[in-house]
Structure 1
């Protein structure tokens, strides 16, 4: 265990920004997957839209717009541009998903962890190189 701890400490000293990068890659991956999957198989995703949205807008159009937003957020996260704004928008979007799909909490409860990961990006400083 001592060797493992020493190796981790060496990595942290060498690349202090690594936790920040891991958070960004993790969130970006989630948003890329959602965007691609909802584009390829939109019928699998329509049921996650709130009924009021489905009643007033074209569900397929909403999914396409949402996918574009998700891809923009992923690009920002991966590129390191607008990371705080991306984190805030991610947290708000994920919060909206949890609230609007509360009856599916057995599935969406994982989004709570993602909300806090996004908020960590909003409220933390990326270490200097």
Structure 2
């Protein structure tokens, strides 16, 4: 039974990590395809063209943390990022609603990875 649990956790980690790595890598390859998802108000703080690669780098670091670090912190950060994306992109809810499902997975991973 324990191997099933470990495999289930691995599948969750792979799924969450892919959800962060794919858009990050894609944003480096084709930023014009992703720049529209950065809220316009970000331009008041930092140009979106500068923000996007910074955010993409953070996404990759968080994904690697979720995948390789058996600690709840990366999963909590990932979940907070996803919930923030939904909150700050309410007008795009028809696209970002799936982030809530992935966020739920991250919080589950955080609970599963805490020290016993």
Fold shared per TM-score above 0.5: yes
Counterpart in the other structure of 2:109: 121
**Runs of 4+ with >4 A deviation:** none
Which of 70, 83, 106 is the equivalent residue of 2:59? 70
1:14 deviation in Å?
Answer: 3.6
For structure 2, list consecutive stretches of 5 or more residues without a partner in the other structure.
none
Q: Output the CA distance in 2 between the equivalents of 1:64 and 1:13.
A: 39
Aligned residues: 116
Counterpart in the other structure of 1:47: 36
Are 2:31 and 1:36 equivalent residues in the alignment? no
Rg comparison, structure with higher value? 1
Counterpart in the other structure of 1:93: 81
Does the Cα contact within 8 Å between 1:27 and 1:118 map onto a contact in 2? yes
Counterpart in the other structure of 1:23: 12
**TM-score, scaled relative to structure 1:** 0.80
After superposition, what is the alpha-carbon deviation per residue over 1:9-50, rounded to whole angstroms, capped at 9, x for unaligned? xxx444431111111110011111011011111112112112
Tell me how large the CA RMSD over aligned residues is. 2.0
- After superposition, the Cα gap between the structure-2 partners of 1:39 and 1:119, relative to the gap in structure 1 and judged at 3 Å, is same
Does the Cα contact within 8 Å between 1:73 and 1:86 map onto a contact in 2? yes
